Amino acid sequence: MASDGAAVFAPTGGARRFRANLLVVLAVVALLLALIPLIAVFGYVFVNGIRSLLSLDFLTQDPPADLSATGGGVRNALVGTLEMTGLASVIAVPIGLGVAIFAIEVGGGLARAARFLIDVLSGLPSIVVGIFVYATVVVTQGHFSGFAGSLALAIVMLPVVTVSAEEILRLTPRPIAEGARALGLARWRAILSVFVPIGLSGIVTGVLLGVSRAIGETAPLIFTSLGNNFFTLDLNQPMQALPLLIYRNALNSAYASARDRAFGAALLLILIVFGFNLVGRWLTARRRLAGSRR
């Protein structure tokens, strides 16, 4: 009987029920508001870019010398982006992990100083990073290069990787950390074989965040890799990248061909980032399930 329930539990007042429902409604509204720009941007780029992307030439051909001409593709930019971001990761991930481990395991003034610099770095506008690499590398070498571009992207990635790795490694449960020490494991061994595997999915997520951040950067590349209308794998040459190509073609969007190319490249960039994230998640999820024996 309903009256029994009310006798046992204080009846939920109408006002209280209303407040609870109101909170849910507000949360849903906030969620929708947050999703609108995301869906709108992706939808807009998708609708405008999918036509270019559907032709295989778009991936296998380089752009025409004249941006207003139709045809051609973005091969040089795609390869340049992958190569420069790849090299940037190779530079930034070990350094970032190293700084994170140092900050946690050694601590002290040096670690705090390193951490402070990293924080400053993450607040730096990326164009400043580009100018810094221009002044130090490009000017010294006397030419723009894919290598300089990679370096600039690595500097952009570094704080993202470091901060997330440090936060994840700090979460290693104390009993586990003490267990490793009590077994006489060297510190580096405990970190590499116990802490890093435990935090692996978080660390990978951090690396992917860094890659996603770097792969979409235009500003650090303008003064470093410069851009190149031709295909090259040579890191000593100026190198094209998707954001640079998007930028140049978007500037010429009065021409339908340039406009389509920019949208196609933008969609490609989004899909690459999306793909990286999916693969990363899949890899870490798979690792956790497997009870690897060796």
Partner 1 sequence: MTIRSVRQKVTASPAPNEAEAVAIQVPVGEPSASAAGGAALGDVAITVRDLSAWYGARRVIRDVSMDIRSNAITAIIGPSGSGKSTLLRCLDRMHEVVPGARSSGKVAYQGVDIYDPEIEPAAVRRTIGMVFQQPNPFPTMSIYDNVAAPARFNGLVKGKAAQDELVERCLRQAALWDEVRDKLGHGGTSLSGGQQQRLCIARTLALQPKVLLMDEPCSALDPVATLQIEQLMSNLKSEYTIVIVTHNMQQASRVSDITAFFNMGPDRAGYLVELDDTRTLFTNPKNQLTEDYVSGRFG
The contact set with partner 1 (CB under 8 A) reads 173, 175-176, 178-186, 189, 193-194, 197-198, 200, 288, 291-294
Q: Which residue type sits at 292?
A: S
* Nearest CA among 219, 223, 212, 191 for reference residue 272: 212
Q: How near is the Cβ of 112 to partner 1 at its closest, in Å?
A: 15
Q: How near is the Cβ of 116 to partner 1 at its closest, in Å?
A: 20
What phi-psi label fits residue 71: left (phi over 0), alpha (psi between -120 and 50 degrees) or beta? left
Q: What is the DSSP letter of 294?
A: -
Q: Report d(CA 32, CA 51) in Å as an integer.
A: 29
Q: How near is the Cβ of 94 to partner 1 at its closest, in Å?
A: 21
Q: How near is the Cβ of 96 to partner 1 at its closest, in Å?
A: 21
Cβ partners under 8 Å of residue 222, min gap 6 = 127, 130, 244
Q: Is 193 helix (H, G, I), strand (E, B) or coil?
A: helix
Cβ distance to partner 1 smaller for residue 148 or 191: 191
Cβ distance to partner 1 smaller for residue 19 or 287: 287
Q: How near is the Cβ of 289 to partner 1 at its closest, in Å?
A: 9
- Partners of residue 239 on adjacent β-strands: 226
Cβ distance to partner 1 smaller for residue 61 or 284: 284
Cβ distance to partner 1 smaller for residue 122 or 205: 205
Cβ distance to partner 1 smaller for residue 56 or 286: 286
- Partners of residue 226 on adjacent β-strands: 239
